[in-house]
Chain A
């Protein structure tokens, strides 16, 4: 598609429930990233996928968080047993391969606003 698409745009869930957030990257973008932005805060890196390489999961805050990506397409971020501190906007971004000196694009989706009540 023309941009990075995230769904749902808003999600309200009860504490303890599991949620799945979806990201459709730009076609041809081999890299995909998930970030979390709590209210009034900066972007916190969660996880990074690059092609068929093992994902960089160094930013996942706990084992309740996991993410998968099918090839170079859709990614799903799953949060199990949600807690109130998980309330945030979850942003996905995709990019073409990073190469110095070449055209480069790192495009964000509009995010999913997750509210845990």
Chain B
């Protein structure tokens, strides 16, 4: 069965610092992988997705993620965070049908 683990419930970083949010998945074949962001009171917005090809994926808002098959990971990174990045981040995995979401990582930004 497919599953997603986001081991960090909360992450706090200082504005301008680098960020890495962890995501590990379980899936029987090569998965589709996604990162979504949800700001307070807002809907879900797709940051980036991986289907195939280059394992380093660029997304919106300066985010990137790297698919590492050997580690079953798809960690999200940003070199320098902004206060507006404070939000909940969800990793998701799927195939040719539904996608399953992790429980999320809440990102806090220190001024």
Contacts and interface: CB of A to CB of B under 8 A. Distances in A.
Contacts of B95: 98
A108 B43 contact: yes
For chain A, the bracket of interface size reads 20 to 34
Interface string B39-82: 00001101001011000000000000000000000000000000
Interface string A100-117: 110010101111000000
Interface residues of B, number: 20
Contact of A45 (B44, B51, B98): B98
- The binding surface of chain A is classed by DSSP as strand
23 contacts: A31-B97, A33-B98, A33-B99, A35-B101, A42-B90, A42-B101, A42-B103, A42-B104, A43-B44, A43-B90, A45-B100, A45-B101, A56-B98, A91-B43, A98-B94, A98-B95, A98-B96, A100-B51, A104-B49, A106-B34, A106-B46, A108-B43, A111-B43
Interface of B: 32, 34, 43-44, 46, 49, 51-52, 90, 94-104
